[in-house]
């Protein structure tokens, strides 16, 4: 049985969705509707950039929703694809809800545009940041954050994305992150049993997403989402905040709110998809980030396909028809 995956911020690239637009009427209709709803030329933004404009959070989030739902609509139109369950990474959860019929496309576009703006407003530029921590368990990453807060006196610093075993992103105060980089010594932090290998990779992001500093954005989105109609999802959505599935409109709405300042439990989401019966999954959207993470989580549990070209689309159609 098939699962559906929808990527989040960081997967965007100039040119995304162009092959869909050029070959499928349904995709062109998606691009036209997005441009009309938000008063912006999304064909130009997605196909021509420039990259720094596409990377602006308030542009990236609706552009990803557009590209992901266009890919899903095309694939569904070709195959009548039946989904056992789906999940989206961070803003990708909105695309999952749109694809499942729980949220209207136009409403999703407006919501993620406001979400991007609210998240950017929540913390002044330069006061927050994010950092990938490689080589630590989830528990060790949480301990690292607690240690930094205690030793430096700077806060907050929290796990933000549990992306895969040994790959956790932390989020919080720029001062806390700077102190961590200057004082990172696993032999001291994790004595007497330090991890064999661990390293930090600062991320080039505009805000400290999925941490308590996002609380102002969460409150804004609570009001925004309360005003939008949600429907019963046609298939279960495994949500970031709890890593459990739901089709209930109010539960889907509430967890969209809570995920803004809550950690993305992506490792647990992929494992839950497997428990629900997904043995293959399609990453509907640009790039291969989620496919790479799925392999790291468990290469034998949920095999993934990507749709980044006409050839990819044909390979997916063949796999679907053959029941692979």
Residue that terminates a domain, selected from 170, 205, 240:
205
pLDDT of residue 45: 98
Residue that terminates a domain, selected from 149, 178, 205:
205
pLDDT of residue 6: 98
Domain with residue 132: its CATH number is 3.30.70.250
CA–CA distances in Å: residue 189 to residues 12, 130, 147, 185, 310? 36, 20, 7, 6, 49
**156 and 296 within one domain:** no
H or E segment at 131?
strand 128-134
**114 and 52 within one domain:** yes
> Would the CA dihedral through 68, 71, 74, 76 be positive or negative?
negative
Which residue in the list 89, 100, 171, 210 is annotated as catalytic? Answer: 210
**306 and 188 within one domain:** no
Active site residue 210: yes
**80 and 132 within one domain:** no
Q: Regarding beta strands 303-306 and 280-283, do their DSSP bridges make them parallel or antiparallel, or are they unpaired?
A: parallel
**221 and 304 within one domain:** yes
Say how far apart CA 41 and CA 18 lie, in whole Å: 14
Q: 304 - beta bridge partners? A: 281
pLDDT of residue 160: 98
Say how far apart CA 70 and CA 159 lie, in whole Å: 32
Task: Give the Cβ contact number of residue 71 at 10 Å.
Answer: 31
pLDDT of residue 324: 57
**221 and 99 within one domain:** yes
**70 and 176 within one domain:** no
What is the number of structural domains in the chain? Answer: 2
**107 and 225 within one domain:** yes
Q: Which domain holds residue 65?
A: 2-122+213-322
pLDDT of residue 112: 98
Taking the model in full, what pTM does it have? 0.96
With tokens 């647990």, the residue in question is 268
Which residue in the list 90, 152, 171, 246 is annotated as catalytic? Answer: 90
Order of strands, edge to edge, in the sheet holding 128-134?
157-164, 167-173, 128-134, 199-203
Active site residue 90: yes
Task: Give the Cβ contact number of residue 236 at 10 Å.
Answer: 22
**78 and 59 within one domain:** yes
Residue that terminates a domain, selected from 184, 205, 226:
205
Sequence-separated (6 or more) residues with CB below 8 Å from residue 105: 30, 33, 34, 69, 98
Q: How far is CA 32 from the centre of its chain?
A: 24
pLDDT of residue 149: 98
**22 and 102 within one domain:** yes
Domain with residue 23: its CATH number is 3.40.366.10
**255 and 178 within one domain:** no
**174 and 224 within one domain:** no
* Helix, strand, coil shares, percent, the chain, to 5: 50, 15, 35
**Each residue's pLDDT expressed in tens, for the chain with a length of 324 residues:** 999 999 999 999 999 999 999 999 999 999 999 999 999 999 999 999 999 999 999 999 999 999 999 999 999 999 998 999 999 999 999 999 999 999 999 999 999 999 999 999 999 988 999 999 999 999 999 999 999 999 999 999 999 999 999 999 999 999 999 999 999 999 999 999 999 899 999 998 889 999 999 999 999 999 999 999 999 999 999 999 999 999 999 999 999 999 999 999 999 999 999 999 999 999 999 999 999 999 999 877 788 999 999 999 999 999 988 875
pLDDT of residue 321: 85
């Amino acid at each position: 049985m098939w699962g559906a995956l929808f990527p989040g911020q960081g997967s965007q690239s100039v040119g995304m969705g162009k092959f869909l637009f050029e070959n499928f009427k349904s995709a062109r209709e998606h691009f036209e509707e997005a441009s009309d709803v938000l008063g912006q030329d999304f064909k130009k933004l997605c196909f021509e950039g420039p990259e720094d404009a596409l990377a602006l959070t308030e542009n990236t989030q609706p552009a990803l929703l557009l590209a992901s739902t266009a890919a899903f609509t095309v694939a569904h139109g070709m195959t009548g694809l039946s989904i056992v369950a789906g999940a989206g990474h961070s803003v990708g959860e909105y695309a999952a809800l749109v694809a499942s019929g729980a949220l209207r496309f136009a409403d999703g576009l407006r919501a993620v545009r406001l979400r991007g703006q609210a998240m950017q407003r929540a913390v002044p530029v330069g006061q927050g940041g994010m950092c990938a921590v490689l080589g630590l368990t989830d528990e060790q990453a949480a301990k690292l954050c607690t240690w930094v807060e205690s030793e430096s006196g700077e806060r907050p610093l929290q796990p933000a994305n549990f992306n895969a075993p040994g790959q956790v992103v932390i989020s919080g105060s720029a001062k806390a992150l700077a102190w961590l980089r200057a004082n990172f010594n696993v032999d001291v932090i994790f004595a007497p049993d330090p991890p064999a290998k661990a390293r930090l990779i600062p991320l080039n992001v505009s805000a400290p997403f999925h941490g308590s500093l996002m609380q102002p954005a969460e409150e804004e989105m609570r009001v925004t989402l309360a005003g939008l109609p949600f429907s019963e999802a046609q298939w279960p959505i495994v949500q970031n905040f709890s890593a459990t599935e739901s089709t209930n409109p109010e539960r889907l709405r509430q967890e969209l709110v809570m995920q803004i300042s809550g950690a993305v439990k992506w490792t647990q989401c992929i494992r839950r998809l497997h428990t629900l019966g997904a043995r293959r999954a399609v990453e509907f959207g640009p790039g291969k980030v989620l496919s790479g993470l799925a392999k790291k989580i468990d290469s034998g549990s949920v095999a993934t396909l990507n749709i980044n070209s006409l050839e990819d689309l044909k390979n997916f159609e063949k796999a679907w028809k053959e029941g692979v």
